[in-house]
Protein backbone atom coordinates (compact mmCIF):
# COMPACT_ATOMS: atom_id res chain seq x y z
CA UNK A 1 0.00 0.00 0.00
CA UNK A 2 1.24 3.53 -0.74
CA UNK A 3 2.43 5.55 2.24
CA UNK A 4 1.32 9.13 2.63
CA UNK A 5 4.01 11.43 4.01
CA UNK A 6 2.80 14.35 6.10
CA UNK A 7 5.21 16.41 8.23
CA UNK A 8 7.65 13.53 8.32
CA UNK A 9 5.07 11.07 9.67
CA UNK A 10 4.07 8.04 7.60
CA UNK A 11 0.39 7.15 7.60
CA UNK A 12 -0.62 3.70 6.39
CA UNK A 13 -4.01 4.85 5.09
CA UNK A 14 -4.40 6.69 1.81
CA UNK A 15 -6.54 9.81 2.16
CA UNK A 16 -9.86 9.69 0.31
CA UNK A 17 -11.60 12.45 -1.63
CA UNK A 18 -15.03 13.39 -2.97
CA UNK A 19 -15.74 16.11 -5.53
CA UNK A 20 -19.24 17.60 -5.52
CA UNK A 21 -20.12 19.50 -8.69
CA UNK A 22 -22.71 22.20 -9.28
CA UNK A 23 -23.51 23.96 -12.54
CA UNK A 24 -22.65 23.60 -16.19
CA UNK A 25 -20.70 21.12 -18.31
CA UNK A 26 -17.58 23.26 -17.84
CA UNK A 27 -17.77 22.61 -14.11
CA UNK A 28 -18.34 18.90 -14.69
CA UNK A 29 -15.23 18.75 -16.83
CA UNK A 30 -13.21 20.86 -14.35
CA UNK A 31 -14.19 18.33 -11.67
CA UNK A 32 -12.67 15.56 -13.77
CA UNK A 33 -9.43 17.56 -13.76
CA UNK A 34 -9.65 18.03 -9.99
CA UNK A 35 -10.11 14.28 -9.53
CA UNK A 36 -7.12 13.58 -11.76
CA UNK A 37 -4.98 16.05 -9.80
CA UNK A 38 -5.93 14.54 -6.46
CA UNK A 39 -5.27 10.99 -7.60
CA UNK A 40 -1.87 12.04 -8.92
CA UNK A 41 -1.25 13.58 -5.49
CA UNK A 42 -1.94 10.24 -3.78
CA UNK A 43 -5.62 10.53 -2.87
CA UNK A 44 -8.14 7.79 -3.63
CA UNK A 45 -11.78 8.32 -4.54
CA UNK A 46 -14.06 7.66 -1.56
CA UNK A 47 -16.49 4.77 -1.76
CA UNK A 48 -20.12 5.76 -2.42
CA UNK A 49 -21.79 6.81 0.83
CA UNK A 50 -18.51 6.97 2.77
CA UNK A 51 -17.33 10.16 4.44
CA UNK A 52 -14.23 11.33 2.61
CA UNK A 53 -11.10 12.79 4.18
CA UNK A 54 -11.35 15.61 1.66
CA UNK A 55 -14.54 17.11 0.22
CA UNK A 56 -14.16 19.51 -2.70
CA UNK A 57 -17.03 21.71 -3.85
CA UNK A 58 -16.85 22.88 -7.47
CA UNK A 59 -19.41 25.67 -7.41
CA UNK A 60 -21.64 27.64 -9.77
CA UNK A 61 -22.54 31.33 -9.51
CA UNK A 62 -25.12 31.28 -12.30
CA UNK A 63 -27.85 29.07 -10.89
CA UNK A 64 -30.41 30.59 -8.53
CA UNK A 65 -29.69 30.24 -4.81
CA UNK A 66 -26.25 28.73 -5.55
CA UNK A 67 -24.75 30.42 -2.49
CA UNK A 68 -27.55 29.32 -0.15
CA UNK A 69 -27.16 25.72 -1.31
CA UNK A 70 -23.40 25.79 -0.80
CA UNK A 71 -23.43 27.35 2.66
CA UNK A 72 -26.25 25.07 3.78
CA UNK A 73 -24.23 22.02 2.75
CA UNK A 74 -21.08 23.40 4.37
CA UNK A 75 -23.08 23.84 7.57
CA UNK A 76 -24.06 20.16 7.54
CA UNK A 77 -20.40 19.20 7.16
CA UNK A 78 -19.15 21.36 10.03
CA UNK A 79 -19.99 18.89 12.87
CA UNK A 80 -18.74 15.95 10.81
CA UNK A 81 -15.41 17.71 10.26
CA UNK A 82 -15.17 18.53 13.95
CA UNK A 83 -15.39 14.81 14.78
CA UNK A 84 -12.81 13.79 12.14
CA UNK A 85 -9.33 15.15 12.85
CA UNK A 86 -7.50 15.85 9.61
CA UNK A 87 -10.60 16.14 7.42
CA UNK A 88 -10.41 18.99 4.92
CA UNK A 89 -12.95 20.97 2.90
CA UNK A 90 -12.14 22.95 -0.24
CA UNK A 91 -14.38 25.31 -2.23
CA UNK A 92 -13.60 26.18 -5.83
CA UNK A 93 -15.35 27.23 -9.02
CA UNK A 94 -17.34 30.28 -10.04
CA UNK A 95 -18.90 31.07 -6.65
CA UNK A 96 -15.46 30.90 -5.02
CA UNK A 97 -14.07 33.21 -7.71
CA UNK A 98 -16.90 35.67 -7.00
CA UNK A 99 -17.12 35.50 -3.20
CA UNK A 100 -13.41 35.02 -2.35
CA UNK A 101 -12.86 35.74 1.38
CA UNK A 102 -16.62 35.61 2.00
CA UNK A 103 -16.52 31.80 1.93
CA UNK A 104 -14.11 31.55 4.87
CA UNK A 105 -15.93 34.32 6.74
CA UNK A 106 -19.26 32.51 6.46
CA UNK A 107 -17.77 29.03 6.90
CA UNK A 108 -14.50 29.33 8.86
CA UNK A 109 -14.11 25.54 8.90
CA UNK A 110 -13.30 25.57 5.17
CA UNK A 111 -9.60 24.87 4.56
CA UNK A 112 -9.06 26.02 0.98
CA UNK A 113 -10.76 28.46 -1.40
CA UNK A 114 -9.53 28.52 -5.01
CA UNK A 115 -10.87 30.07 -8.19
CA UNK A 116 -11.62 29.15 -11.77
CA UNK A 117 -8.17 30.22 -12.99
CA UNK A 118 -5.99 28.08 -10.70
CA UNK A 119 -7.58 24.68 -10.19
CA UNK A 120 -4.12 23.17 -10.58
CA UNK A 121 -3.09 24.74 -7.25
CA UNK A 122 -5.48 22.63 -5.16
CA UNK A 123 -3.04 19.92 -3.95
CA UNK A 124 -0.45 22.52 -2.89
CA UNK A 125 -3.07 24.66 -1.13
CA UNK A 126 -4.38 21.64 0.77
CA UNK A 127 -0.90 20.74 1.98
CA UNK A 128 -0.20 24.35 2.92
CA UNK A 129 -3.48 24.59 4.87
CA UNK A 130 -2.60 21.38 6.71
CA UNK A 131 0.94 22.52 7.49
CA UNK A 132 0.00 26.08 8.54
CA UNK A 133 -3.25 25.02 10.24
CA UNK A 134 -4.87 28.00 8.57
CA UNK A 135 -7.31 28.46 5.69
CA UNK A 136 -5.71 29.18 2.33
CA UNK A 137 -7.50 31.50 -0.12
CA UNK A 138 -5.96 31.87 -3.59
CA UNK A 139 -7.94 33.55 -6.35
CA UNK A 140 -6.16 34.52 -9.57
CA UNK A 141 -7.51 37.20 -11.90
CA UNK A 142 -6.36 35.49 -15.09
CA UNK A 143 -5.92 31.94 -16.31
CA UNK A 144 -2.90 30.19 -14.81
CA UNK A 145 -2.91 27.40 -17.41
CA UNK A 146 -5.40 25.52 -19.56
CA UNK A 147 -7.19 22.84 -17.53
CA UNK A 148 -5.98 20.43 -20.22
CA UNK A 149 -2.46 20.74 -18.82
CA UNK A 150 -3.76 18.85 -15.78
CA UNK A 151 -4.52 15.13 -15.56
CA UNK A 152 -8.18 14.12 -15.67
CA UNK A 153 -10.02 11.20 -14.11
CA UNK A 154 -13.03 10.78 -16.41
CA UNK A 155 -16.49 9.97 -15.11
CA UNK A 156 -17.60 7.90 -18.11
CA UNK A 157 -16.05 4.93 -19.89
CA UNK A 158 -17.85 5.76 -23.16
CA UNK A 159 -18.27 9.56 -23.40
CA UNK A 160 -15.85 12.39 -22.69
CA UNK A 161 -15.74 16.17 -22.45
CA UNK A 162 -12.96 18.05 -24.26
CA UNK A 163 -12.60 21.77 -23.63
CA UNK A 164 -11.47 23.71 -26.70
CA UNK A 165 -11.48 27.15 -25.08
CA UNK A 166 -12.00 28.94 -21.79
CA UNK A 167 -13.61 32.28 -21.08
CA UNK A 168 -16.08 34.45 -22.97
CA UNK A 169 -15.83 37.72 -24.92
CA UNK A 170 -19.53 38.54 -24.78
CA UNK A 171 -21.18 40.97 -22.34
CA UNK A 172 -24.69 39.58 -21.91
CA UNK A 173 -26.38 41.69 -19.24
CA UNK A 174 -27.84 38.71 -17.37
CA UNK A 175 -24.59 36.70 -17.19
CA UNK A 176 -21.71 36.85 -14.72
CA UNK A 177 -19.57 34.18 -16.41
CA UNK A 178 -17.18 36.53 -18.31
CA UNK A 179 -16.12 38.25 -15.08
CA UNK A 180 -15.48 34.86 -13.43
CA UNK A 181 -13.79 32.96 -16.26
CA UNK A 182 -12.18 35.85 -18.14
CA UNK A 183 -11.78 36.59 -21.83
CA UNK A 184 -11.84 33.77 -24.37
CA UNK A 185 -8.59 31.92 -24.92
CA UNK A 186 -8.46 29.05 -27.42
CA UNK A 187 -6.36 25.90 -27.29
CA UNK A 188 -4.16 24.82 -30.17
CA UNK A 189 -6.05 22.50 -32.55
CA UNK A 190 -3.30 19.90 -32.23
CA UNK A 191 -3.70 19.79 -28.45
CA UNK A 192 -7.48 19.39 -28.73
CA UNK A 193 -7.13 16.54 -31.21
CA UNK A 194 -4.44 14.89 -29.07
CA UNK A 195 -6.83 14.83 -26.12
CA UNK A 196 -9.62 13.41 -28.27
CA UNK A 197 -7.24 10.74 -29.58
CA UNK A 198 -6.16 9.86 -26.03
CA UNK A 199 -9.78 9.30 -25.03
CA UNK A 200 -10.54 7.17 -28.09
CA UNK A 201 -7.48 5.03 -27.43
CA UNK A 202 -9.03 4.17 -24.06
CA UNK A 203 -12.31 3.11 -25.64
CA UNK A 204 -14.34 6.33 -25.55
CA UNK A 205 -16.86 6.44 -28.42
CA UNK A 206 -18.35 9.91 -27.99
CA UNK A 207 -16.69 13.28 -27.40
CA UNK A 208 -18.34 16.61 -26.69
CA UNK A 209 -16.33 19.73 -27.52
CA UNK A 210 -16.84 22.43 -24.88
CA UNK A 211 -16.60 26.21 -24.99
CA UNK A 212 -18.57 29.10 -23.50
CA UNK A 213 -19.06 30.09 -27.16
CA UNK A 214 -17.73 27.01 -28.82
CA UNK A 215 -18.15 28.21 -32.40
CA UNK A 216 -16.09 31.36 -31.87
CA UNK A 217 -13.08 29.07 -31.57
CA UNK A 218 -10.13 30.56 -33.42
CA UNK A 219 -10.55 34.20 -32.36
CA UNK A 220 -7.77 34.15 -29.76
CA UNK A 221 -5.31 31.25 -29.71
CA UNK A 222 -3.08 31.04 -26.65
CA UNK A 223 -0.21 29.99 -28.91
CA UNK A 224 1.15 33.10 -30.67
CA UNK A 225 2.16 30.92 -33.62
CA UNK A 226 -1.53 30.14 -34.24
CA UNK A 227 -3.12 32.97 -36.20
CA UNK A 228 -6.70 34.15 -35.76
CA UNK A 229 -8.91 31.88 -37.87
CA UNK A 230 -12.68 32.30 -38.12
CA UNK A 231 -12.90 28.95 -39.87
CA UNK A 232 -11.05 27.08 -37.13
CA UNK A 233 -14.12 25.47 -35.56
CA UNK A 234 -15.38 23.99 -38.83
CA UNK A 235 -11.87 22.68 -39.51
CA UNK A 236 -11.75 21.14 -36.04
CA UNK A 237 -15.03 19.31 -36.62
CA UNK A 238 -13.74 17.91 -39.91
CA UNK A 239 -10.47 16.86 -38.26
CA UNK A 240 -12.43 14.93 -35.62
CA UNK A 241 -13.96 13.02 -38.52
CA UNK A 242 -10.53 11.59 -39.32
CA UNK A 243 -10.03 9.97 -35.90
CA UNK A 244 -10.54 6.21 -36.19
CA UNK A 245 -12.80 4.80 -33.50
CA UNK A 246 -14.47 8.13 -32.69
CA UNK A 247 -18.12 7.40 -33.46
CA UNK A 248 -19.89 10.51 -32.21
CA UNK A 249 -18.90 14.17 -31.93
CA UNK A 250 -21.08 16.78 -30.25
CA UNK A 251 -20.42 20.38 -29.21
CA UNK A 252 -21.91 22.94 -26.85
CA UNK A 253 -22.79 25.73 -26.81
CA UNK A 254 -22.58 27.82 -29.99
CA UNK A 255 -23.56 31.49 -30.12
CA UNK A 256 -25.99 32.48 -32.91
CA UNK A 257 -23.99 35.62 -33.73
CA UNK A 258 -20.90 33.49 -34.47
CA UNK A 259 -22.68 30.76 -36.42
CA UNK A 260 -21.31 30.44 -39.95
CA UNK A 261 -22.24 28.37 -42.99
CA UNK A 262 -18.94 26.47 -42.92
CA UNK A 263 -19.91 24.96 -39.56
CA UNK A 264 -23.22 23.75 -40.98
CA UNK A 265 -21.38 22.22 -43.95
CA UNK A 266 -18.87 20.52 -41.64
CA UNK A 267 -21.69 19.08 -39.52
CA UNK A 268 -23.54 17.74 -42.54
CA UNK A 269 -20.46 16.35 -44.31
CA UNK A 270 -18.60 14.78 -41.37
CA UNK A 271 -20.20 11.39 -40.63
CA UNK A 272 -19.34 11.20 -36.93
CA UNK A 273 -20.59 14.71 -36.12
CA UNK A 274 -24.05 14.15 -34.66
CA UNK A 275 -27.15 15.76 -36.21
CA UNK A 276 -27.80 17.78 -33.07
CA UNK A 277 -27.54 21.49 -32.36
CA UNK A 278 -27.99 23.20 -29.00
CA UNK A 279 -28.21 26.93 -29.74
CA UNK A 280 -29.42 29.31 -27.00
CA UNK A 281 -32.23 31.66 -28.01
CA UNK A 282 -32.85 33.40 -24.64
CA UNK A 283 -35.68 35.52 -26.09
CA UNK A 284 -37.63 35.82 -29.32
CA UNK A 285 -38.07 39.57 -28.93
CA UNK A 286 -35.58 41.80 -30.74
CA UNK A 287 -36.13 44.50 -28.10
CA UNK A 288 -35.31 42.12 -25.25
CA UNK A 289 -32.35 40.63 -27.13
CA UNK A 290 -30.94 44.15 -27.46
CA UNK A 291 -31.41 44.75 -23.71
CA UNK A 292 -29.68 41.43 -23.07
CA UNK A 293 -26.80 42.52 -25.37
CA UNK A 294 -27.31 39.43 -27.49
CA UNK A 295 -25.75 40.37 -30.83
CA UNK A 296 -28.35 38.73 -33.10
CA UNK A 297 -32.02 39.15 -33.75
CA UNK A 298 -35.01 36.87 -34.30
CA UNK A 299 -34.68 36.72 -38.10
CA UNK A 300 -30.99 35.82 -37.88
CA UNK A 301 -31.72 33.04 -35.40
CA UNK A 302 -34.52 31.50 -37.46
CA UNK A 303 -32.38 31.78 -40.58
CA UNK A 304 -29.67 29.61 -39.00
CA UNK A 305 -32.21 26.97 -38.08
CA UNK A 306 -33.58 26.99 -41.61
CA UNK A 307 -30.09 26.41 -43.05
CA UNK A 308 -29.35 23.63 -40.56
CA UNK A 309 -32.55 21.83 -41.47
CA UNK A 310 -31.87 22.22 -45.18
CA UNK A 311 -28.50 20.51 -44.71
CA UNK A 312 -29.70 18.00 -42.07
CA UNK A 313 -33.48 17.57 -42.29
CA UNK A 314 -33.66 15.32 -39.22
CA UNK A 315 -31.38 17.36 -36.97
CA UNK A 316 -32.56 17.78 -33.39
CA UNK A 317 -32.36 21.42 -32.30
CA UNK A 318 -32.50 22.39 -28.62
CA UNK A 319 -32.22 25.77 -26.93
CA UNK A 320 -32.17 27.90 -23.77
CA UNK A 321 -34.92 30.44 -23.04
CA UNK A 322 -35.18 33.03 -20.26
CA UNK A 323 -38.67 34.18 -19.23
CA UNK A 324 -39.29 37.47 -17.44
CA UNK A 325 -36.15 39.44 -18.28
CA UNK A 326 -36.45 43.02 -16.92
CA UNK A 327 -38.83 45.05 -19.06
CA UNK A 328 -40.27 42.04 -20.90
CA UNK A 329 -43.85 42.79 -21.95
CA UNK A 330 -46.60 40.41 -22.97
CA UNK A 331 -45.87 41.36 -26.59
CA UNK A 332 -42.20 40.44 -26.10
CA UNK A 333 -43.17 37.13 -24.60
CA UNK A 334 -45.51 36.39 -27.52
CA UNK A 335 -42.49 36.88 -29.82
CA UNK A 336 -40.70 34.14 -27.88
CA UNK A 337 -43.67 31.82 -28.25
CA UNK A 338 -43.70 32.58 -31.96
CA UNK A 339 -40.06 31.46 -32.31
CA UNK A 340 -40.84 28.26 -30.40
CA UNK A 341 -43.67 27.50 -32.85
CA UNK A 342 -41.51 28.22 -35.90
CA UNK A 343 -38.29 26.59 -34.69
CA UNK A 344 -39.98 23.39 -33.48
CA UNK A 345 -37.31 22.77 -30.86
CA UNK A 346 -36.78 19.15 -29.85
CA UNK A 347 -36.51 20.42 -26.29
CA UNK A 348 -35.77 23.64 -24.44
CA UNK A 349 -34.04 24.45 -21.18
CA UNK A 350 -36.31 27.14 -19.78
CA UNK A 351 -35.45 29.52 -16.94
CA UNK A 352 -37.30 32.14 -14.96
CA UNK A 353 -35.16 35.26 -14.81
CA UNK A 354 -33.69 35.91 -11.39
CA UNK A 355 -31.40 38.70 -10.28
CA UNK A 356 -27.68 37.90 -10.29
CA UNK A 357 -25.75 40.45 -8.22
CA UNK A 358 -22.91 41.93 -10.22
CA UNK A 359 -24.71 41.82 -13.57
CA UNK A 360 -26.11 44.90 -15.40
CA UNK A 361 -29.57 43.35 -15.50
CA UNK A 362 -29.69 43.20 -11.70
CA UNK A 363 -30.14 46.97 -11.48
CA UNK A 364 -32.41 47.43 -14.50
CA UNK A 365 -35.78 49.08 -14.03
CA UNK A 366 -39.05 47.27 -14.73
CA UNK A 367 -38.22 43.99 -13.01
CA UNK A 368 -41.13 41.70 -13.91
CA UNK A 369 -43.28 40.58 -10.95
CA UNK A 370 -42.74 36.95 -9.90
CA UNK A 371 -46.39 36.02 -10.47
CA UNK A 372 -46.24 37.31 -14.06
CA UNK A 373 -42.99 35.46 -14.72
CA UNK A 374 -44.47 32.22 -13.36
CA UNK A 375 -47.60 32.50 -15.50
CA UNK A 376 -45.58 33.12 -18.67
CA UNK A 377 -43.20 30.32 -17.78
CA UNK A 378 -46.10 27.89 -17.42
CA UNK A 379 -47.42 28.86 -20.86
CA UNK A 380 -43.98 28.41 -22.42
CA UNK A 381 -43.55 24.97 -20.84
CA UNK A 382 -46.98 23.87 -22.07
CA UNK A 383 -46.23 24.97 -25.64
CA UNK A 384 -42.74 23.43 -25.73
CA UNK A 385 -43.99 20.12 -24.32
CA UNK A 386 -46.66 20.01 -27.03
CA UNK A 387 -44.03 20.69 -29.72
CA UNK A 388 -41.65 18.12 -28.24
CA UNK A 389 -44.34 15.45 -28.00
CA UNK A 390 -45.46 15.96 -31.60
CA UNK A 391 -41.87 15.72 -32.85
CA UNK A 392 -41.22 12.57 -30.82
CA UNK A 393 -44.48 10.93 -31.90
CA UNK A 394 -43.41 11.41 -35.52
CA UNK A 395 -40.49 9.04 -34.81
CA UNK A 396 -42.66 6.08 -33.79
CA UNK A 397 -41.86 3.19 -36.12
CA UNK A 398 -38.41 4.46 -37.04
CA UNK A 399 -35.15 2.65 -36.34
CA UNK A 400 -32.50 4.38 -34.21
CA UNK A 401 -28.98 3.59 -33.08
CA UNK A 402 -28.32 4.09 -29.36
CA UNK A 403 -25.20 4.49 -27.31
CA UNK A 404 -26.27 2.75 -24.11
CA UNK A 405 -26.04 5.06 -21.10
CA UNK A 406 -25.56 4.48 -17.41
CA UNK A 407 -28.47 5.26 -15.09
CA UNK A 408 -30.27 7.60 -17.51
CA UNK A 409 -33.80 6.58 -16.53
CA UNK A 410 -35.29 7.10 -13.06
CA UNK A 411 -37.89 4.35 -13.56
CA UNK A 412 -35.69 1.84 -15.35
CA UNK A 413 -35.45 -0.53 -12.40
CA UNK A 414 -39.24 -0.74 -12.13
CA UNK A 415 -39.82 -1.04 -15.88
CA UNK A 416 -36.90 -3.42 -16.59
CA UNK A 417 -35.66 -0.95 -19.20
CA UNK A 418 -32.25 0.47 -20.01
CA UNK A 419 -31.56 3.84 -21.63
CA UNK A 420 -29.46 5.17 -24.44
CA UNK A 421 -28.89 8.29 -26.50
CA UNK A 422 -29.75 8.39 -30.18
CA UNK A 423 -27.32 10.11 -32.52
CA UNK A 424 -29.49 13.23 -32.40
CA UNK A 425 -29.26 13.28 -28.60
CA UNK A 426 -32.76 12.07 -27.80
CA UNK A 427 -33.13 9.83 -24.75
CA UNK A 428 -34.58 6.40 -25.51
CA UNK A 429 -35.70 3.80 -22.96
CA UNK A 430 -35.58 0.22 -24.27
CA UNK A 431 -36.01 -3.34 -23.00
CA UNK A 432 -32.90 -5.52 -23.20
CA UNK A 433 -33.51 -9.07 -24.41
CA UNK A 434 -31.36 -10.54 -21.65
CA UNK A 435 -30.30 -8.99 -18.36
CA UNK A 436 -26.59 -8.23 -18.29
CA UNK A 437 -25.95 -8.88 -21.97
CA UNK A 438 -26.05 -5.19 -22.88
CA UNK A 439 -23.69 -2.86 -21.02
CA UNK A 440 -23.41 0.95 -20.84
CA UNK A 441 -21.05 1.86 -23.67
CA UNK A 442 -22.43 -0.75 -26.07
CA UNK A 443 -24.29 0.15 -29.27
CA UNK A 444 -27.81 -1.14 -29.90
CA UNK A 445 -30.35 -0.65 -32.69
CA UNK A 446 -34.04 -0.47 -31.78
CA UNK A 447 -37.44 0.51 -33.22
CA UNK A 448 -39.31 3.35 -31.54
CA UNK A 449 -42.68 2.17 -30.17
CA UNK A 450 -43.79 5.07 -27.99
CA UNK A 451 -43.13 8.73 -27.23
CA UNK A 452 -43.37 11.30 -24.45
CA UNK A 453 -42.27 14.95 -24.47
CA UNK A 454 -38.86 14.21 -22.92
CA UNK A 455 -38.05 10.69 -24.10
CA UNK A 456 -38.80 7.88 -26.54
CA UNK A 457 -39.68 4.24 -25.81
CA UNK A 458 -38.54 1.13 -27.66
CA UNK A 459 -40.26 -1.94 -26.20
CA UNK A 460 -39.82 -4.17 -29.22
CA UNK A 461 -37.01 -6.65 -29.88
CA UNK A 462 -33.41 -5.45 -30.10
CA UNK A 463 -32.53 -5.29 -33.80
CA UNK A 464 -28.79 -5.18 -33.28
CA UNK A 465 -26.25 -5.20 -30.47
CA UNK A 466 -22.55 -4.38 -30.78
CA UNK A 467 -20.27 -4.97 -27.82
CA UNK A 468 -17.61 -2.29 -27.56
CA UNK A 469 -14.35 -1.58 -25.78
CA UNK A 470 -16.22 1.10 -23.84
CA UNK A 471 -18.71 -1.51 -22.68
CA UNK A 472 -15.84 -3.79 -21.66
CA UNK A 473 -14.26 -0.96 -19.67
CA UNK A 474 -17.53 -0.07 -17.97
CA UNK A 475 -18.13 -3.70 -17.05
CA UNK A 476 -14.62 -3.90 -15.56
CA UNK A 477 -15.12 -0.65 -13.63
CA UNK A 478 -12.35 1.11 -15.57
CA UNK A 479 -12.72 4.79 -16.43
CA UNK A 480 -10.29 6.70 -18.64
CA UNK A 481 -7.58 8.86 -17.19
CA UNK A 482 -5.95 11.29 -19.58
CA UNK A 483 -2.49 12.71 -19.06
CA UNK A 484 -1.78 16.44 -19.35
CA UNK A 485 -1.93 17.79 -22.90
CA UNK A 486 0.25 20.84 -23.54
CA UNK A 487 2.74 22.55 -21.24
CA UNK A 488 2.77 20.92 -17.79
CA UNK A 489 2.52 22.84 -14.53
CA UNK A 490 4.95 20.78 -12.49
CA UNK A 491 2.37 20.12 -9.79
CA UNK A 492 4.10 18.49 -6.78
CA UNK A 493 2.92 15.04 -5.77
CA UNK A 494 1.64 14.95 -2.23
CA UNK A 495 1.47 11.72 -0.29
CA UNK A 496 2.48 9.46 -3.17
CA UNK A 497 5.89 8.17 -4.21
CA UNK A 498 7.45 9.52 -7.38
CA UNK A 499 6.80 7.28 -10.39
CA UNK A 500 9.50 5.18 -11.94
CA UNK A 501 10.98 6.72 -15.12
CA UNK A 502 9.01 5.67 -18.19
CA UNK A 503 10.18 5.26 -21.75
CA UNK A 504 9.72 8.47 -23.66
CA UNK A 505 6.92 8.41 -26.21
CA UNK A 506 7.16 12.00 -27.34
CA UNK A 507 3.40 12.49 -27.46
CA UNK A 508 2.44 13.31 -23.89
CA UNK A 509 0.63 9.99 -23.64
CA UNK A 510 -0.15 8.48 -20.26
CA UNK A 511 -2.35 6.04 -18.41
Average confidence (pLDDT) over 184-207: 94
Q: Is 509 marked within a binding site?
A: no
> pLDDT tens digit string along 42-95?
999 999 889 999 999 998 877 666 777 888 999 999 999 999 999 999 998 888
Max mean pLDDT range (29-38, 133-142, 247-256): 247-256
- What are residue 33's phi and psi, to 5 degrees? -65, -45
Cβ neighbour number for residue 501 with a 10 Å cutoff: 6
> pLDDT tens digit string along 85-137?
999 999 988 888 888 888 999 999 999 999 888 888 899 999 999 988 899 99
Q: Where are the beta strands (DSSP E) in 26-131?
A: 44-45, 54-59, 88-93, 112-114
Average confidence (pLDDT) over 206-223: 92
Q: Answer whether residue 506 shows pLDDT above 50.
A: no
| pTM (predicted TM-score) | 0.82
The more confident residue out of 155 and 507 is 155
Average confidence (pLDDT) over 246-273: 96
Mean of the per-residue pLDDT values of the chain: 88
* Ramachandran category for residue 79: left, alpha or beta (phi over 0 → left; psi -120 to 50 → alpha): alpha
Q: Is 274 marked within a binding site?
A: no
d(CA 490, CA 252): 31
- What ranges do the domains of the chain cover? 16-138, 147-394, 398-476
Burial class (CB in 10 A: 0-12, 13-18, 19+), 174: buried
Average confidence (pLDDT) over 365-384: 97
User: Identical fold at 16-138 and 147-394?
Assistant: no
Position 318 scores a pLDDT of 97
Architecture of domain 16-138: 3-Layer(aba) Sandwich (3.40)
d(CA 248, CA 156): 15
Q: Where are the beta strands (DSSP E) in 262-387?
A: 276-278, 316-323, 347-352
Q: Is 240 marked within a binding site?
A: no
Domain 147-394 has CATH 3.80.30.20: yes
Closest to 120 (Cα-Cα) out of 482, 484, 479: 484
Q: What percent of the chain has pLDDT above 70?
A: 91
Q: Is 94 marked within a binding site?
A: yes
Q: Answer whether residue 160 shows pLDDT above 70.
A: yes
Position 67 scores a pLDDT of 74
Architecture of domain 398-476: Beta Barrel (2.40)
Position 151 scores a pLDDT of 83
Query: Cis peptide before 392, with omega less than 30 degrees from 0?
Result: no
Q: How far is CA 96 from CA 138, 140, 355, in A?
A: 10, 11, 19
Q: Is 168 marked within a binding site?
A: yes
Confidence of residue 24 (pLDDT cuts 50, 70, 90): confident
What size, in residues, is the chain? 511
State CA 14 to chain mean position distance.
Answer: 29
Q: Answer whether residue 207 shows pLDDT above 60.
A: yes
Position 26 scores a pLDDT of 79
d(CA 83, CA 93): 27
Q: Answer whether residue 252 shows pLDDT above 70.
A: yes
Cβ neighbour number for residue 189 with a 10 Å cutoff: 20
Lowest mean pLDDT among 3-7, 325-329, 348-352: 3-7
Q: Is 172 marked within a binding site?
A: yes
> pLDDT tens digit string along 470-498?
999 999 999 898 888 764 323 333 333 33
Q: Answer whether residue 10 shows pLDDT above 80.
A: no
Amino acid sequence: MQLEVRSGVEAARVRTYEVRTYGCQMNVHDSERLSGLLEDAGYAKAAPGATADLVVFNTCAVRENADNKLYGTLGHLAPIKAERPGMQIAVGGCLAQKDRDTVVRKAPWVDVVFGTHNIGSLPVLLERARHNEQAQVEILESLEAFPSTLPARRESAYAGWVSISVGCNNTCTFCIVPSLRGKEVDRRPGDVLAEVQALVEQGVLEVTLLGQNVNSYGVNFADPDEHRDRGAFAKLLRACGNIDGLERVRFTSPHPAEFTDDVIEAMAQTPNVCPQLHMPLQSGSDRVLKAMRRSYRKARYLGIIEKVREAMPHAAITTDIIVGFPGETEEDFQETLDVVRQARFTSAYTFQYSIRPGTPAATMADQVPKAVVQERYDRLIALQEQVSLEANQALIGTEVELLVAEGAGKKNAATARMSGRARDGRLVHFRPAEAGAIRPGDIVTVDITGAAPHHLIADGPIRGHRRTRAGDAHEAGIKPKTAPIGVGLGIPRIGAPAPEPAAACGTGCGA
